[in-house]
A and B are shown apart, each in its own frame.
Chain A
Amino acid sequence: MLHYAQEQLQGDYYTRAFQAGAQEDTLILNMGPQHPSTHGVLRIILELHGEYILRAEPVLGYVHRMQEKMGEVKTYPQYLPNMGRVDYLHALAWNWAYVLAVEELLQLEVPERAEYIRVITCELNRITSHLLWWGAYLLDLGAFTPIMYGFADRERAMDLLQIITGSRLTYCYYSFGGVTADLTPQFIDGTKEFCKYLRTRLPMYKDLVTDNMILRHRVDDIGIIPVDMARRYGVTGPNLRGSGVEHDLRRNTPYSIYDRFDFEIPAYEECDALARYLVRMDEMEESLSIIEQAIDSLPEGPVTPPKMPKVIKPPKGEAYGAVEGARGVIGIHVISDGTATPYRIKLRSPSFSNLSLFAEVSEGILLADAVSILGSLDLVIPEIDR
Chain B
Amino acid sequence: MNIAPELIHIAVALAAIAAFIGLNGLVLVWLERKVAGHIQRRPGPYEVGPWGLLQPVADAVKLVGKQLVRPKVADPWLYWSAPLLSFTPVFLLFLTIPFGPRLIGMEFNLGLLLILAFSGLNVLALCLAGWSSANKYSLLGAARAVAQSIAYEIPLLLAVLAIAFQFGTLNLSTIVHHQGPMPWQWNVMTQPLAFIIYFICAVAETNRAPFDLPEAESELTAGFHTEYSGMAFGLFFLAEYAYIIVISCVATVLFLGGWHGPGAPGFWWFLLKVYALIMVIIWLRWTYPRVRFDQLLNINWKWLLPLALVNLLLTLIFVKM
**Chain B CB within 10 Å, residue with most, of A4, A145, A217, A367:** A145
Give B33 Cβ to nearest chain A Cβ, in Å: 12
| Interface pair B294/A366, CB less than 8 Å apart | yes
* B67 CB-CB contact with A under 8 Å: no
By a CB distance below 8 angstroms, the chain B residues around A141 are 218, 289-290
* B2 CB-CB contact with A under 8 Å: no
Residue from A145, A217, A367 in contact with B291 in the complex, judged by beta carbons closer than 8 Å: A217
By a CB distance below 8 angstroms, the chain B residues around A144 are 36, 40, 209, 285-286
Query: Do A371 and B218 contact each other (CB < 8 Å), given the known contacts A51-B140, A143-B287, A366-B294?
Result: yes
| Secondary structure call for the A interface | helix
Residue from A29, A140, A208, A368 in contact with B292 in the complex, judged by beta carbons closer than 8 Å: A368
By a CB distance below 8 angstroms, the chain B residues around A4 are 73, 134
| B-contacting residues, A23-38, CB 8 Å | 27, 29, 35-37
By a CB distance below 8 angstroms, the chain B residues around A143 are 287-290
By a CB distance below 8 angstroms, the chain A residues around B210 are 142, 214
By a CB distance below 8 angstroms, the chain B residues around A371 are 218-219
By a CB distance below 8 angstroms, the chain A residues around B294 are 366
Alpha-carbon distance between A142 and B284 when the two chains are bound, in angstroms:
12
Query: Do A217 and B286 contact each other (CB < 8 Å), given the known contacts A142-B209, A149-B41?
Result: no
By a CB distance below 8 angstroms, the chain B residues around A37 are 218-219
Q: Mark B196-214, 1 if CB is under 8 A from A, else 0.
A: 0000000000000110100
Query: Do A36 and B41 contact each other (CB < 8 Å), given the known contacts A145-B286, A366-B293?
Result: no
Alpha-carbon distance between A367 and B223 when the two chains are bound, in angstroms:
13
Q: Which residue of A lies closest to B137 (CB)?
A: A29
Query: Do A217 and B292 contact each other (CB < 8 Å), given the known contacts A145-B287, A148-B40?
Result: yes
| Secondary structure call for the B interface | loop
Give A217 Cβ to nearest chain B Cβ, in Å: 6
Q: Which residue of A lies closest to B213 (CB)?
A: A368
Alpha-carbon distance between A209 and B90 when the two chains are bound, in angstroms:
36
By a CB distance below 8 angstroms, the chain B residues around A29 are 136-137, 140
Q: Which residue of B lies closest to A208 (CB)?
A: B287
By a CB distance below 8 angstroms, the chain B residues around A148 are 40-42
Alpha-carbon distance between A212 and B210 when the two chains are bound, in angstroms:
12
| Interface pair A35/B221, CB less than 8 Å apart | yes
Residue from A2, A51, A139, A217 in contact with B295 in the complex, judged by beta carbons closer than 8 Å: A217
Residue from A5, A140, A152, A369 in contact with B218 in the complex, judged by beta carbons closer than 8 Å: A140
Alpha-carbon distance between A374 and B221 when the two chains are bound, in angstroms:
15
| B-contacting residues, A197-218, CB 8 Å | 208, 212, 214-215, 217-218
Alpha-carbon distance between A368 and B290 when the two chains are bound, in angstroms:
10
**Chain A CB within 10 Å, residue with most, of B41, B218, B221, B295:** B218
| Interface pair B218/A142, CB less than 8 Å apart | yes
Residue from A2, A8, A140, A208 in contact with B75 in the complex, judged by beta carbons closer than 8 Å: A2
| Interface pair B134/A2, CB less than 8 Å apart | yes
Interface residues on B, range: 20 to 34
Alpha-carbon distance between A144 and B75 when the two chains are bound, in angstroms:
34
* B216 CB-CB contact with A under 8 Å: yes
* A3 CB-CB contact with B under 8 Å: yes
**Chain A CB within 10 Å, residue with most, of B73, B74, B209, B289:** B289
* B116 CB-CB contact with A under 8 Å: no
Give B306 Cβ to nearest chain A Cβ, in Å: 20
Alpha-carbon distance between A271 and B36 when the two chains are bound, in angstroms:
35
| A-contacting residues, B177-230, CB 8 Å | 209-210, 212, 216-221
By a CB distance below 8 angstroms, the chain A residues around B319 are none
Residue from B74, B218, B221 in contact with A139 in the complex, judged by beta carbons closer than 8 Å: B218
Q: Mark A209-231, 1 if CB is under 8 A from B, else 0.
A: 00010110110000000000000
Q: Which residue of B lies closest to A28 (CB)?
A: B136
* B39 CB-CB contact with A under 8 Å: yes
* A291 CB-CB contact with B under 8 Å: no
* A138 CB-CB contact with B under 8 Å: yes
By a CB distance below 8 angstroms, the chain A residues around B212 are 142
Residue from B39, B41, B134, B290 in contact with A142 in the complex, judged by beta carbons closer than 8 Å: B290
Alpha-carbon distance between A246 and B217 when the two chains are bound, in angstroms:
35
| Interface pair A36/B290, CB less than 8 Å apart | no
Query: Do A218 and B286 contact each other (CB < 8 Å), given the known contacts A29-B136, A37-B218, A148-B42?
Result: no
| A-contacting residues, B216-249, CB 8 Å | 216-221
Alpha-carbon distance between A4 and B135 when the two chains are bound, in angstroms:
11
By a CB distance below 8 angstroms, the chain A residues around B291 are 214, 217-218
| B-contacting residues, A335-386, CB 8 Å | 366-369, 371
By a CB distance below 8 angstroms, the chain A residues around B295 are 217
By a CB distance below 8 angstroms, the chain A residues around B289 are 138, 141-143, 212, 214-215, 218
| Interface pair B218/A36, CB less than 8 Å apart | yes
| Interface pair A214/B288, CB less than 8 Å apart | yes
Alpha-carbon distance between A215 and B295 when the two chains are bound, in angstroms:
12
Alpha-carbon distance between A140 and B216 when the two chains are bound, in angstroms:
9
Alpha-carbon distance between A132 and B295 when the two chains are bound, in angstroms:
27
Alpha-carbon distance between A4 and B140 when the two chains are bound, in angstroms:
19
By a CB distance below 8 angstroms, the chain B residues around A149 are 40-41
By a CB distance below 8 angstroms, the chain A residues around B136 are 27, 29
Q: Which residue of B lies closest to A369 (CB)?
A: B292
| Interface pair B73/A2, CB less than 8 Å apart | yes
By a CB distance below 8 angstroms, the chain B residues around A214 are 210, 288-291
Q: Which residue of B lies closest to A29 (CB)?
A: B136
Alpha-carbon distance between A4 and B221 when the two chains are bound, in angstroms:
22
By a CB distance below 8 angstroms, the chain B residues around A215 are 289
Would you give 6 A-B contacts (Cβ < 8 Å), ordered by A? A36-B217, A140-B218, A144-B40, A149-B41, A215-B289, A367-B219
Given A3-B73, A142-B210, A217-B292; 19 other pairs, CB 8 A cutoff:
A2-B75, A2-B134, A4-B73, A8-B73, A27-B136, A35-B221, A142-B289, A143-B287, A143-B289, A145-B36, A145-B40, A148-B41, A214-B210, A214-B288, A367-B140, A368-B216, A368-B219, A368-B290, A369-B292
Nearest 10 interchain pairs by C-beta: A142-B290, A148-B40, A143-B289, A37-B218, A141-B289, A140-B218, A368-B292, A142-B289, A2-B134, A214-B289
